[in-house]
A and B are shown apart, each in its own frame.
Chain A
Amino acid sequence: MTAFPDAAAFRATACASPPDERGAFGDFGGRFVPETLMPAVLELEGAFLEAINDDAFLQEWFDLLRNYVGRPTALTYAARLSDAVGADVWLKREDLNHTGAHKINNTLGQGLLCLRMGKRRVIAETGAGQHGVATATAAARLGLDCTVFMGAEDIERQALNVFRMKLLGADVVEVTSGTQTLKDATNEALREWVTRVRDTHYIIGSAVGPHPFPWMVRAFQSVIGVEARLQCEQAGIKPDIVVACVGGGSNSIGIFHPFRETDAGLVGIEAGGRGTRPGEHGASISYGEPGILHGSRSTILSTPTGQVQPAHSISAGLDYPGVGPELAYLAETGRARFVPITDDEALDAFVRLSELEGIVPALESAHAVAWLFRGEWGGQRPTILLNLSGRGDKDVQQVARMLAERS
């Protein structure tokens, strides 16, 4: 018995509930990019549609996912965690993927698409370096040139990932404008794409950006939820709640989307940071407003004069002032709800999951774990499916330092 879907079943789920012809989910999404990029964005939409409807393309990607990434990833019953929180908790183990997180699902999909479009060069933005490493990995495997844009501040904080990207053959460009973090790395990647659009594909790492990116990234990351549904059926369970952390939203939409038509409640966990004031968090849905950033209309963190408000989170992957348009739409329609979790709660959960289950989660994923300890569900012991989007090896130094500061 395998949890891996066949091409037709995957396609049917991944492509369901598409955006409208403008690339919008309700009133969120669209294509807010300079005209120079519009032809490329339209070409990409056509190429993606063709590819996703081509069994040969999906088989090639599936082959990489199985034999290179190590999919399907396990669905693990977390017995001791379950008892600690009073729920039956199942972990979708994206931490077991090659390179340590779900990001590789998308970078390999887009990398293959890039080859299909006849482009030989990819660029990417990265915050902590996870998406940068996943892009550099896909580029190495597929024989593509790769340049990664990373804020100067992040380069200093994440020296190890910078080295990994370089080891994988990527150029890492230091971004010194603005806040020198993920937001500005994204700006610089967009500027580079404008400049080199004829020979370069931009692998956006989250379910953000102009149409078709949010839809395309959702489709590639849906492999998480499609597998998880099969695995739940095989295990004879029906999740009452599906929970995942939300930065830009790629891991959350990846697990939510295939469960949309089920009865499961969908809970997205945002970066509550160290407070509710501007600059203290990264909770774009909980505390933000409709706005236009990085190619789409969604909910963003905005200053009183309409500038983009820099975010804060203990976790670099959630330290972003926007969110994918489809998640903003799920929030607006009430299909999903979103809860901010603080830095402190995430740090506690990082430790607890390590102690209880022998799994060191990424600080991003630890936000979702932390929500379990709030016990915010009425009634019986629910069955909860949690997307453990990445492993925490990258975070151990930072956590060691913070725990020392705390004690």
Chain B
Amino acid sequence: MNRQTPGRLEAAFSRREDEGRKVFVAYLTVGDPGIQESLELADALVRQGVDIIELGVPFSDPVADGPTIQAASERALDRGTSLDDVFAVAGALRARHPDVGIVLMGYANPFHHYGLAETARRSADAGVDGWIVPDVSWEESWRFREHLNANGVAWIPLIAPTTGPQRAAEMLADTRPPFAYYVSVTGVTGVRSGLPEGWDEPYRAIREAAGTPIVLGFGIGNRDSAAGAAAVADGVVVGSAIVSRAATEPADAVATFVRELRDVV
């Protein structure tokens, strides 16, 4: 089922563009506080208008993540969460929501350990639309893309403030993703007091040369930063602000918080 997923991610961008709005991407760490809780939270977020759900695959050594997501990953692993559980959550979410974008965000080793061909196939079976793998550079992505392409799953590249327009353009021309993910800061994930001054300049330079929507993530956790990001970018990603609430608050409360951000995007 869902072997070919033509355009669920692309559709999310064109749908919002038609409405004069931006795409909202929400991240949660699967397994924190529990597998079922993660499914219910993802479900609640979709019902509040989230366009793309990023399901975080917990990993023991998450070098691109700040303290909030590190701690969530540790808790999820302590409860025994594995890639099997992530596929189960993705599959159940897909069954409930045929149109939502579902993207796995995880580090290279768990995918590699289970086998890239196998995990790409299982991703397609579970209705996953794409992978974001923060510790796999464009230079190494061929190893992953080979298997994802064969299964109709997208490779979503990350672009950083250090990347520069030329490298970004070459990367996007080579990988041809439905969208790319721009990291707002040189740093790790986590809520900050605001977006860094002047973040939009390098973003615009890269976006201009790209024929691809580019969402903005890292550090967006309140209405101001969400609105500021959405004024420029094609979409916003909220992660740590959701993860820190999900650990202690019920899904409905987290979804209400996300709704407030969603409304300004």
Contact = CB atoms under 8 A, between A and B. Distances in A.
B199 to A, nearest CB: 13
Most interface-central of B60, B111, B113, B187 (chain A CB within 10 A):
B60
B137 A35 contact: yes
B60 A35 contact: no
B61 A191 contact: no
Contact of B63 (A38, A191, A291, A302): A191
Given A195-B188, A307-B77, A34 B110 contact: no
A35 B159 contact: yes
B84 to A, nearest CB: 8
B136 A305 contact: no
B138 interface: yes
A32 B188 contact: no
B83 interface: yes
Nearest to B134: A34
Contacts of A210: 137
Interface string B70-88: 1000100100001100000
Contact of A306 (B62, B83, B134): B83
B135 A34 contact: yes
- Chain A interface SS verdict (over half): mixed
A194 B163 contact: no
Contacts of A308: 60-61, 109
A306 B119 CA distance: 12
A64 interface: no
A74 interface: no
A interface, size bucket: 35 or more
Given A39-B167, A308-B61, A197 B137 contact: no
Interface in A175-222: 177-178, 183-184, 187, 190-191, 194-198, 210
Q: Which of B67, B113, B138 has the most CB of A within 10 A?
A: B113
B175 to A, nearest CB: 12
B114 A306 contact: yes
A105 B134 CA distance: 32
B162 A39 contact: yes
Given A22-B140, A177-B70, A305-B83, A194 B61 contact: no
A232 interface: no
B96 interface: no
Interface string A15-38: 000000010000000111111111
B139 interface: yes
Contact of A291 (B67, B82, B109): B109
Contact of B137 (A31, A306, A307): A31
Nearest to A183: B61
Contacts of B250: none
Given A30-B139, A177-B70, A292-B135, A195 B109 contact: no
B74 A178 contact: yes
Given A36-B162, A307-B60, A30 B140 contact: yes
A210 B136 CA distance: 11
Nearest to B135: A32
Interface in B24-69: 59-64, 66-67
A293 interface: yes
A117 interface: no
Contact of B112 (A183, A184, A194, A291): A291
Interface string B160-171: 111110010000
A197 B162 contact: yes
A40 interface: yes
B218 to A, nearest CB: 10
A191 B188 CA distance: 7
Contacts of A295: 135
Interface string B175-192: 000000001001110000
Interface string A159-177: 0000000000000000001
Interface in B82-130: 82-83, 107-114
A32 B141 CA distance: 9
A351 B137 CA distance: 47
A306 B110 contact: yes
Interface string A274-291: 000000000000000111
A214 to B, nearest CB: 15
B157 interface: yes
Given A35-B183, A306-B113, A194 B64 contact: yes
B140 A36 contact: no
A292 B109 contact: yes
B163 to A, nearest CB: 6
Nearest to B218: A36
A194 B60 contact: no
Given A22-B140, A187-B63, A36 B161 contact: yes
A133 to B, nearest CB: 24
B65 to A, nearest CB: 8
Contacts of B59: 307
Contacts of B12: none
Contacts of B159: 35
Nearest to A189: B63
Nearest to B85: A305
A218 B40 CA distance: 50
Contacts of B108: 32, 292
Nearest to A308: B60
A22 B139 contact: yes
Nearest to B108: A292
A38 B137 CA distance: 7
A184 B61 CA distance: 7
15 contacts: A31-B139, A32-B136, A35-B138, A35-B162, A36-B160, A36-B186, A36-B187, A39-B164, A187-B63, A292-B112, A294-B63, A302-B113, A306-B82, A306-B111, A307-B109
Given A39-B162, A198-B162, A292-B135, 16 more contacts: A22-B140, A31-B137, A32-B137, A34-B137, A35-B138, A38-B137, A38-B138, A177-B74, A184-B61, A197-B162, A197-B186, A210-B137, A291-B109, A291-B113, A292-B109, A306-B114
Pairs A-B, 7 closest by C-beta atoms: A306-B113, A306-B110, A36-B160, A292-B108, A305-B82, A307-B60, A195-B187
